[in-house]
Structure 1
């Protein structure tokens, strides 16, 4: 139910060409707004439902101010439904700032925590132009993210069901290997063995629905992978990323979806920082401390970088002589596998950045040691001259 509270004075002729800042505290079922005039005077506040009638009532109220000569601008914190809310306002001709909550702590750390106060705070900082803006990705990237997230959820569910099967079989004294449930033929062999065994006949009744669930999940994952292939069919970024040894279409699509536009990042360091692969740095007086990686930014993008490294490790026949892999092997002996993979993922982010920035495919010649690189360049040049 919508309720609106008149607080300020009635609009008059002096409102012509004045700016009005609108703070919005957005929730799942309702949102609270604060209309703030140029002199930081709260003109009006209200509560609206996040349904069609609620949005219509809010936009009707905003239109009244706009027709009275106010230039409207709204601020809303980055939440799950902030994109939909922003799009609603943009269609109505209202400029919207989506606030980066990681950089704007005033609302979260406020002693007075009410929706009305939070909306007023956003409006005040918007009027001062002091709100850190969160850049939303394109609609194409958002659509790709949703499909990738659903696929990831189904894959995790499949792993969970498989673990249930392993546990069930172990309860009957049957030890199963990790990849044994991967193929349908092997699952059928296990099921036949249970049905034919005089002691394990009842176990088959419990395993059958789990195996059916695995089959269904595999089918759904396959359908989503076809959708992903269609979404990135003509995507040049994905095409370039797949030139990296060990990077498949899912990893390439994930990087493409979660970075959105490589031109948003001024340098490889900024890109690594966005991913969350940059280390914490504390600088006090003359002392500098470097900590673990920040883990800020999309976890999916960090995971994709790690998967890229693991893919390159698995392609050792092709990538074994790359400098990045040589350093990985040396570091692994000293710091172990985990830290070495993360450190190499940081280097991988630089490779990804340069490939997408220069629009050139992965060049294996640049990955080998300098002397070897010169020799291979000379050999390639000799072949060209001979031809």
Structure 2
């Protein structure tokens, strides 16, 4: 009831189906990344505890299974579980690649994503994320409202009573 009376609160517009598609795909992608990393870190930790050091480049390779199966220090019960972890990581990586390719293809064919990608440093994945959250850009009253929506604020330099917002002058950044 108190929130309904509050005139300062902005209304939140529901996502359209296109935004929801991008939001769901980026969320799925993030979840698979998290799962893959957790599996690989756990696998490396267990192997290292038994004296088998797995290099960074071998993690996703099929020969990792051969390496685990041929390592004599592993008990048989552990070996089967580690092979399952490698298989799980490889399956997760395949699904992750499929979702990433889908997002890249969607971004390639979407005018809004193409426009976002004109900003230096933003590729198809980040343009898809922004596409999912921005919606209609005209909902932001001023250009400053857009970065504020994401919690970004200009740099504040306060000396005494003077306060400057934005980038440091070029002379000050060189020192």
Quickly say closer, same or farther: Cα 1:269–1:166, change in 2 above 3 A: same
Quickly say closer, same or farther: Cα 1:236–1:212, change in 2 above 3 A: same
> Residues of 2 paired with 1:287 and 1:242: CA distance?
37
Quickly say closer, same or farther: Cα 1:265–1:253, change in 2 above 3 A: same
Quickly say closer, same or farther: Cα 1:289–1:246, change in 2 above 3 A: closer
- What's 1:207 paired with? 82
**Which structure is higher in RCO with an 8 Å CA cutoff and minimum separation 6?**
2
- What's 1:167 paired with? 45
What pairs up with 1:1-387 in 2 under 5 angstroms? 119=1, 121-122=2-3, 125=5, 130=7, 132-139=9-16, 140-181=18-59, 183-184=60-61, 188-200=62-74, 202=76, 203-229=78-104, 231-278=106-153, 286=161
Quickly say closer, same or farther: Cα 1:198–1:225, change in 2 above 3 A: closer
> Residues of 1 paired with 2:30 and 2:67: CA distance?
32
> Residues of 1 paired with 2:81 and 2:140: CA distance?
52
Quickly say closer, same or farther: Cα 1:230–1:194, change in 2 above 3 A: closer
* Structure 1 contact 194–201 (Cα < 8 Å) conserved: no
TM-score by length of structure 2 reads: 0.73
Quickly say closer, same or farther: Cα 1:179–1:260, change in 2 above 3 A: farther
Q: What is the alpha-carbon root mean square deviation over aligned residues? A: 3.3
> Residues of 1 paired with 2:26 and 2:71: CA distance?
41
Deviation at 1:131, TM superposition (A): 5.4
Quickly say closer, same or farther: Cα 1:241–1:177, change in 2 above 3 A: farther
Quickly say closer, same or farther: Cα 1:198–1:142, change in 2 above 3 A: closer
SS in 2 for 1:167: helix
Length, aligned pairs only: 165
* Structure 2 contact 43–82 (Cα < 8 Å) conserved: yes
Tell me the alpha carbon deviations over residues 328-381 of structure 1, each in whole angstroms, 9 at most, x when there is no partner: xx96x98xxxxxxxxxxxxxxxxxxxxxxxxxxxxxxxxxxxxxxxxxxxxxxx
Deviation at 1:156, TM superposition (A): 0.8
Quickly say closer, same or farther: Cα 1:279–1:161, change in 2 above 3 A: same
> Residues of 2 paired with 1:122 and 1:265: CA distance?
21
Quickly say closer, same or farther: Cα 1:138–1:196, change in 2 above 3 A: closer
Quickly say closer, same or farther: Cα 1:224–1:165, change in 2 above 3 A: same
Deviation at 1:242, TM superposition (A): 2.9
Quickly say closer, same or farther: Cα 1:287–1:245, change in 2 above 3 A: closer
SS in 2 for 1:133: coil
Tell me the alpha carbon deviations over residues 72-120 of structure 1, each in whole angstroms, 9 at most, x when there is no partner: xxxxxxxxxxxxxxxxxxxxxxxxxxxxxxxxxxxxxxxxxxxxxxx4x
Structure number with higher strand proportion = 1
TM-score by length of structure 1 reads: 0.37
* Structure 1 contact 169–175 (Cα < 8 Å) conserved: yes
Deviation at 1:215, TM superposition (A): 1.8
Deviation at 1:288, TM superposition (A): 5.4
Quickly say closer, same or farther: Cα 1:180–1:289, change in 2 above 3 A: farther
